[in-house]
């Protein structure tokens, strides 16, 4: 089971996502602060900064959602869930994950449709970047969410069968390890 949740590919993916989040945040910050800089210090209001900040935010937010799914960092009302016997709880969690994967598959289909439809619809101020690119980013992030939810199903099924419970690494663990 550890090979399922902690193999080389997943570690690389984890590191890539960390870099996307931190790097994307830096781009978003520079664009937002650059807007102030252009307006007050260079007396030249930049038209592209807000759009760049927004587009970056949309992209990294979807990837942050994928990380939240991976780390099971959801907002959950769990006061009833924790009262269930372990077996019933595992069954319910598997059901949730199956429903989530099905729902995400639907959103992924929609993101693909929208990416095709909007592939040439350029953003107003960012040359070469289209709405379709944003939907493609959404699609990739949704597929990642599906991957992590599916991995969790495998982990929960293993727990249900009485095997060793392999939990996904805790939030914050990867950065401590990977950026060292």
Partner 1 sequence: MIIYGCLVIGLIALIMIGMPVGFGAGLISAIGGALIFDGIADPRVAAMLARVSLDKIDNFLLLSIPFFLLAGRLMNTGGITERLFGFVSVVVRPLKGGVAHANVLASMLFAGMSGSATADAAGLGAIEMKAMTSQGYKKEFSAGVTAASSLLGPIIPPSIALVAYAVQAEQSVAQLFIAAIVPGFLMAAADMAYVSYKAHKHNFPSGPFAGLREIWASFRRAALAIATPGIIMGGIYFGIFTPTEAAAVAALYAVILGLFIYREFNLRDLAREIRGTMIDTGVIMLIIAFTSAFGDIMIRAQIPMELAAMLTELTSDPTVLLLLMVVFWLVVGCFMAQTPAILILTPILLPIAEQYEIDPIFFGIIMTMTLTLGLLTPPVGMVLYVLVRVTGIPFERLAVISLPYVFLTTALILLLVLFPGLVLFPVRLLF
Residue among 102 and 163 whose Cβ is closer to partner 1: 102
Q: Report the candidate in 170, 173, 160, 141 with the shortest Cα–Cα distance to residue 58.
A: 141
- What are the helix (H) ranges across 37-172? 49-70, 86-117, 131-160
User: Smallest gap, in angstroms, from Cβ of residue 162 to partner 1?
Assistant: 22
List Cα–Cα distances, 36 to 39, 52, 56, 108, in angstroms. 5, 14, 18, 36
List Cα–Cα distances, 94 to 15, 87, 146, in angstroms. 27, 11, 13
Residues that bind partner 1 (CB under 8 A): 18, 21-22, 24-26, 28-29, 32-33, 35-36, 40, 50, 53-55, 57-58, 60-69, 71, 73-81, 92, 96, 99-100, 103, 106-111, 113-114, 117, 134-135, 138, 171-172, 175-176, 179-180
Residue among 4 and 81 whose Cβ is closer to partner 1: 81
User: Smallest gap, in angstroms, from Cβ of residue 20 to partner 1?
Assistant: 9
Residue among 3 and 174 whose Cβ is closer to partner 1: 174
């Amino acid at each position: 089971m550890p090979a399922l949740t902690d193999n080389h590919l997943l570690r690389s993916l984890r590191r890539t996502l960390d870099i996307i989040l931190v790097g994307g945040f830096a781009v978003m910050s520079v664009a937002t602060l650059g807007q102030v800089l252009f307006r007050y210090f260079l007396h030249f209001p930049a038209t592209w900064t807000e759009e760049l900040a927004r587009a970056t935010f949309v992209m990294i937010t979807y990837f942050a959602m994928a990380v939240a799914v991976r780390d099971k960092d959801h907002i959950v009302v769990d006061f009833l869930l924790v009262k269930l016997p372990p077996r019933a709880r595992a069954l319910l969690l598997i059901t949730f994950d199956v429903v989530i994967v099905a729902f995400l598959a639907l959103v992924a289909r929609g993101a693909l449709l929208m990416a095709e439809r909007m592939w040439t619809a350029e953003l107003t101020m960012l040359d070469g970047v289209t709405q379709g690119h944003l939907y493609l980013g959404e699609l990739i992030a949704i597929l990642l969410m599906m991957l992590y939810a599916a991995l969790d199903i495998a982990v929960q099924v293993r727990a249900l069968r009485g095997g060793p419970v392999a939990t996904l690494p805790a939030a914050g663990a990867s950065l401590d390890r990977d950026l060292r």
